[in-house]
Amino acid sequence: MDSSQFRAAAHSAIDQIIGYYDTIEDRRVLSGVEPGYLKNLLPDGPPVDGEVWAEIQKDIESKIIPGITHWQSPNFLAFFPANSSYPGILGELYSAAFTSANFNWLCSPAATELETIVLDWLCKLLNLPECYLSTSPNGGGGVIQGSASEAIVTVVVTARDRYLKMLSAGAKTAEEKEEIIDAHRHKLVALFSDQAHSSTQKGCQIAGVKHRSIKVPGSPTSNYSLTGPLLRQKLEELNEQGLEPFYLTLTLGTTSTCAVDNFAEIIEVLKAYPQIWVHVDAAYAGAALICEEFQHLTAGFENFDSFDMNMHKWLLTNFDCSCLYVKERKNLFDALSITPAYLRNPFTSSGRVTDYRDWQIPLGRRFRALKIWFVMRTYGVFGLQHHVRNIISIGEHFASLIKSRPDLFTIIVPPAFALTVFVVNTVNGGGAEERNKLTKTVYESINEEGKIFITSGVVDDIYMIRVIGASSKTRKEHLERAFGIIVEMAEKVRGEKEEYKNADVGEVGEVQLRGL
């Protein structure tokens, strides 16, 4: 493919992408293919002779798109969003064109320096303490990771090595240092609430350390938040067992209910445990911090060691773009830096440049700062704030619709950050088990129908439905339509359940044939 052929193919591809976005609302949001569908559509190997782009492009619509779940659809109301935007796509285009591995400054100075600049911009927008800026006296800063899960692996490994280094600081020989480390390594334990994302547990498995979750109770007024007393109780329990807590994940916006842990209480408890590395996982809800009305949540964050949020969830920057901030980058270097001869260069040796390979698990990295730069410049601060506030307003509207049908639904926890969590009420006051079965049936039936895509969750043995609409294309009418679909299905399933319950022996078979 020469430059003229690329020009024609690129124009055609861009037109197809625009057409996809313009019609995405009309597509079945959840892919309906069966496992292995693509193997039946493609040959056993690549063509012997190359094909022209026009032939290749035909297969996007006929073979690939049928297997796509349309995350950018306004009818995608599941998980958390994975926003994309045209400026972000353009950033990916230029990144693909430059294709530099960017493991050190010399690989592409612009890739490193732009990342530092835009992450400092974001740090200020999020109202994070100055200690997280690259210019802070203590040597903080931000780095783009692939995901919040990857960020957690990075900081768990860093926290482990920092703790062991503290314990062995007085060793006089390498052998003595190794003995101290060996004596303590098997006692290390990381903590997180039972509402924290599973990535902390996975990070601990990778790092080879123990982990313990802290059970947090919930109620209609307390959204399953980790509190100071709960943390203190767990720390004392671990100390009695001879274990050594070294790491804690706190959450700003839990996966199940978007709960925010009680940071103020936790800060007081941790004054007696300065050895614990504290990480704030704000993967989704952290985006709301760009709005002044949420910035009170960052009070006291200077007491924590790291913070992470995903621009690729809610801030219109396509995947992958997770922004990790640390208070002291030296801890990352100590845990992750290795400099073989082929990576040595005078710029790195001078200490005047940043080599982001020392801030992450992989060596190489893509030029992801471009898409942040393009998105921030295209939308501006006001545009990004408007997007976040609009999604929250739409979410509140949906919650009000659910509340308008107390006969059908009960909201489990206060709606937060555009997420509404609810259950389907039983007929005639059935118990918790019946309610769970009913809610699950409604949930599964909605997704099987495919008009919208939602997800479920289980908290305190409560099976619940989660709805969050945060696509850039989402409008109030999309959530109103979703509400209508949910109401219709809930009424249908409840009616059929009641019919089945009241049916005599001779009618049971007929009712079962209708899917019960």
- The pLDDT tens digits for 7-65 are 999 999 999 999 999 999 999 998 888 999 999 999 999 999 999 999 999 999 999 99
Residues 131 and 157 in one domain: yes
CATH of residue 455's domain is 3.90.1150.170
Tell me which H or E stretch contains 191.
Answer: strand 188-193
SS3 category, 314: helix
How far is CA 249 from each of CA 17, 66, 214, 262, 281, rounded to the nearest angstrom?
Answer: 39, 38, 11, 12, 7
What is the share, in percent, of the chain residues with pLDDT greater than 70? 92
* Residues 410 and 270 placed together within one structural domain of the fold: no
Q: Is 482 exposed, middle or buried (0-12, 13-18, 19+ CB in 10 A)?
A: buried
Q: Return the pLDDT at 349.
A: 55
Average of per-residue pLDDT across 304-310: 97
Weakest mean pLDDT among 99-103, 214-218, 330-334 = 99-103
What average pLDDT is seen over the chain? 89
Pair 254, 389 in one domain: no
Secondary element (H or E) of residue 403: helix 369-403
Q: Are residues 197 and 121 in the same domain?
A: yes
Strand segments, DSSP code E, in 353-461 are: 409-411, 420-424, 455-459
The helix/strand/coil state of 193 is strand
Position 228 confidence tier, pLDDT thresholds 50, 70, 90:
very high
Q: Are 262 and 255 in contact (CB under 8 A)?
A: no
Distance CA 258, CA 196 (A): 10
**Which of 327, 345, 366 is a domain's end point?**
366
Residue 350, pLDDT score: 57
What's the start-to-end Cα distance of the chain, in Å? 56
Domain boundary among 313, 333, 366: 366
pTM of full prediction above 0.95: no
The answer, yes or no, to whether residue 508 has pLDDT greater than 90, is: no
**3-class DSSP state for residue 100?**
coil
Cα–Cα distance for residue pair 465/484, rounded to 1 Å: 15
Give residue 512's pLDDT. 34
For residues 379 and 247, state if they share a domain.
no
Same domain membership, residue 417 and residue 314: no
Report the alpha-carbon distance of residue 114 to residue 99 in Å, rounded. Answer: 16
Q: Which of 366, 385, 415 is the last residue of a domain?
A: 366
d(CA 408, CA 296): 36
H and E: helices and strands count for the chain:
16, 11
- Select the more confidently predicted residue: 452 or 105: 452
Judge whether 48 lies within some domain: no
Could you tell me the pLDDT band of residue 108, with boundaries at 50, 70 and 90?
Answer: confident
Residue 62 within a domain: no
Same domain, 111 and 201: yes
Is the distance from CB of 244 to CB of 160 less than 8 angstroms? no
* Separation CA 1–CA 50 (nearest Å): 10
Task: Look at residue 100 in the predicted model and tell me its pLDDT.
Answer: 80
Q: Report yes or no on 147 lying in a domain.
A: yes
**Within 271-368, where are the H helices?**
311-314, 330-336, 346-350
The total number of structural domains in the chain stands at: 2
Provide the b/e sequence for 136-173 (b: ≥16 CB within 10 Å). beeebbbbbbbbbbbbbbbbbbbbbbbbbeebbeeeee
CB 127 within 8 A of CB 288: no
Let me know whether 354 and 401 are in one domain. Answer: no
Span 54-65, pLDDT tens digits: 999 999 999 999
- The mean per-residue pLDDT over the stretch 81-110 comes to 86
Q: Which residues contact 133 (CB under 8 A, 6 or more apart)?
A: 120, 123, 124, 140, 141
Q: Please determine, for residue 341, whether its predicted confidence score (pLDDT) is greater than 70.
A: no
The token pair that represents 81 in the structure block = 């969003």
Host domain of residue 212: 99-366
pLDDT of 301 higher than 90: yes
* Separation of alpha carbons 133 and 136, rounded Å: 5
Cβ 353 vs Cβ 116: under 8 Å: no
Are 191 and 305 members of one domain?
yes
Residue owning tokens 């992470």: 308
How is residue 244 annotated by DSSP?
E
pLDDT exceeds cutoff 70 at 342: no
105 pLDDT higher than 70: no
Give the residue-averaged pLDDT of 156-172.
Answer: 91
Q: Whole-angstrom Cα distance, residue 154 to residue 173?
A: 28
Q: Is the pLDDT of residue 156 over 70?
A: yes
In the prediction, which pLDDT does 513 show? Answer: 32
Mark whether 419 and 343 lie in a shared domain. no
Q: Is the peptide bond before 182 cis (omega within 30 degrees of 0)?
A: no
If asked whether residues 270 and 384 sit together in one domain, one would say no
Indicate if the pLDDT at residue 511 is higher than 60: no
Q: Is residue 283 assigned to a domain?
A: yes
pLDDT, one tens digit per residue, over 181-224 is 898 999 999 999 999 999 999 999 998 999 999 999 876 566 89
Residue 502 has pLDDT above 80, yes or no: no
Rounded to whole angstroms, the Cα distance separating 93 from 76 reads 25
In a domain, 3, yes or no: no
Instruction: Give the residue-averaged pLDDT of 228-235.
Output: 96
**23 part of a folded domain:** no
Q: Where residue 126 sits, what CATH number does that domain have? A: 3.40.640.10
Could you tell me if 298 and 410 lie in one domain? no
User: What pLDDT is recorded for position 258?
Assistant: 93
**How far apart, in whole angstroms, are the C-alpha atoms of residue 440 and residue 463?**
7
Residue found by looking up tokens 């035909």 in the block:
58
CA 184 to centroid of chain Cα atoms: 32
The verdict on residue 155 lying in a domain is yes
34 lies in some domain: no
